[in-house]
Amino acid sequence: MPKYVRPTRADGVFNGLVSLSTRLGLPLAGSRVLAVRGRTSGEWRTTPVNPLRIGGERYLVAPRGTTHWVRNLRAAGSGRLQHGRRVEEFTAVELADADKPPILREYLRAWAWEVGRFFDGLDKDSPDERLLDVASDFPVFRITTVSE
């Protein structure tokens, strides 16, 4: 069964504040508001995310596991990232588990202060073998901006 960590009430309040500040153009440490079409409704669904840039590539990591935004992005294959008035459309490709360890390591290096609790004792110094063992619990997408 895919990993999924349900947000607590406190998480909902925190996510709401991060989303609001990001929409106002004051992103928390580079956060963005992700918008993806719902897989059944077709309506836009939003949530705050922490995009990660590594060597010219950008990634979205799902620290809570297979969430609704992950399922929606798998179905849609594209979405939007917003901060302030800037909206960026992108396409997404999900990475294979074997490709995730270096991405998960950098994600933990950048965002462990916020999402480390979802990684059950892992950190930026965890061996690749350990990161590979849990890779299936953390969906990762490479995102590419759609040129207009």
Q: How far apart are CA 13 and CA 26, in angstroms?
A: 17
Every domain of the chain and the residues it spans: 9-145
| C-beta separation of 47 from 69 below 8 A | yes
> What is the CATH superfamily name and number for domain 9-145?
Electron Transport, Fmn-binding Protein; Chain A (2.30.110.10)
Place of tokens 């990591």: 61
pLDDT tier, 65 (very low <50, low <70, confident <90, very high otherwise): very high
Q: How long, in residues, is the chain?
A: 148
pLDDT digits (tens, 9 = 90+) for 74-130: 999 999 999 888 999 999 999 999 999 999 999 999 988 888 889 988 999 999 999
Q: How far apart are CA 63 and CA 43, in angstroms?
A: 24
DSSP 41: T
| C-beta separation of 50 from 31 below 8 A | yes
